[in-house]
Structure 1
């Protein structure tokens, strides 16, 4: 029997925790093992927006402390298929673009890039300044996928949860996980 695919989910302190719960709901029906790390600010925003502690999120099989540089994601030999930073603060974006590994999230992203594995950053900030844009371009050039949480309204989401689900489905597509039943554009 083939082992499940493993991905790493990093949660930082930007707004947008609705996307985290939507992603985990979609992944629950897949053969995917989700490992996760959350920043201190991420913990606070998760509580503020979703009234949840990280341990209450369903679908995560293993948690790592953000300050644990001995955790498996700190090494390329851990072989995660992809890493998603959802939501991604511009501080995290800047640290990764500069190659600064101040915590496990930064280090794991650096490892993901050096191993040429998919790294998705759902950067959540507006408006963007020149530094943000330059950091995005630098990471794009390094192989990352910059995917800000921008909903597709042409699919006419009925509510915020459906909107978040559609975006989470797009993230799944970008890491090669095809979720059946996702509404897709079929033309006019």
Structure 2
């Protein structure tokens, strides 16, 4: 039986290096990956990582994208928008608070938001990696709603139990 794809989405929250690293690890292990990047996600990839296009992203993540399939975030009719498309789940890393709000309210305006909606309705795993601080009451309520709907909120707040030599 073939491995189900993981949906990876990068949105317009600071923390693009987290998404790049996750894509690198998925590609390195040849995990089937459906990749989506929002318009603002691309802006952050450029600002934070110097990555301007698919070619540069492919190069930054090791160059082997045999297991990666990219989708246009504007294509709400693409395969990840359908519940009949079987996936292992979805990670949105980094996840903007705007994306969290859209997921919490069920307002799918993009492929990323629709795919997240589908993952939740199909009872698959949805992991949201917000990096926003401080959090407003609206952010907290939206994160609560997504959690109540079945999402896992995994803030980009690294632990220090492993005693890193430096923090950059």
Q: TM-score, normalised by structure 2?
A: 0.89
In 2, Cα distance between the equivalents of 1:128 and 1:86? Answer: 17
Change (3 A) 1:27 1:158: farther
State whether residues 4 and 86 of structure 2, in contact with CA within 8 Å, keep that contact through their aligned partners in structure 1. Answer: no
DSSP-derived class of the 1:10 partner: strand
Contact 1:140-1:146 at 8 Å conserved across structures: yes
The answer to whether residue 95 in structure 2 is matched with residue 88 in structure 1 is: yes
Contact 1:4 1:31 in 2 (8 A): no
The unaligned stretches of length 5 or more in structure 2 are: 59-64
1:19 alignment partner in structure 2? 18
Alignment of 1:138 with 2:137, yes or no, is no
Following TM superposition, by how much is the alpha carbon of 1:160 offset from its aligned partner in structure 2, in angstroms? 5.2
Q: Give the Cα–Cα distance (whole angstroms) in 1 for the partners of residues 118 and 51 of structure 2.
A: 29
CA 1:116–1:156 in structure 2 vs 1: closer, same or farther (change >3 Å)?
same
2: distance between equivalents of 1:157 and 1:5?
Answer: 34
| Residue in structure 2 matched with residue 66 of structure 1 by the alignment | 73
1:122, 1:149 within 8 Å by CA — same for their partners in 2? yes
Looking at structure 2, the residues matched to 14 and 53 of structure 1 have their Cα atoms a distance apart, in angstroms, of 16
Query: In 1, Cα distance between the equivalents of 2:7 and 2:53?
Result: 14
* Distance verdict in 2 for CA 1:117–1:8, change over 3 Å: same
8 A contact 1:17–1:49 mirrored in 2: yes
SS at match of 1:76: coil
1:28 aligned residue: 27
Question: Given the alignment, which residue of 154, 160, 163 partners 1:156?
Answer: 163
Query: 1:43: Cα distance to partner?
Result: 0.5
- More helix by percentage: 1
TM-score, normalising length: structure 1: 0.80
Q: Corresponding residue for 1:125?
A: 132
How many residues align? The count is 160
Alignment map for 1:159-178 (pairs within 5 Å): 159=166
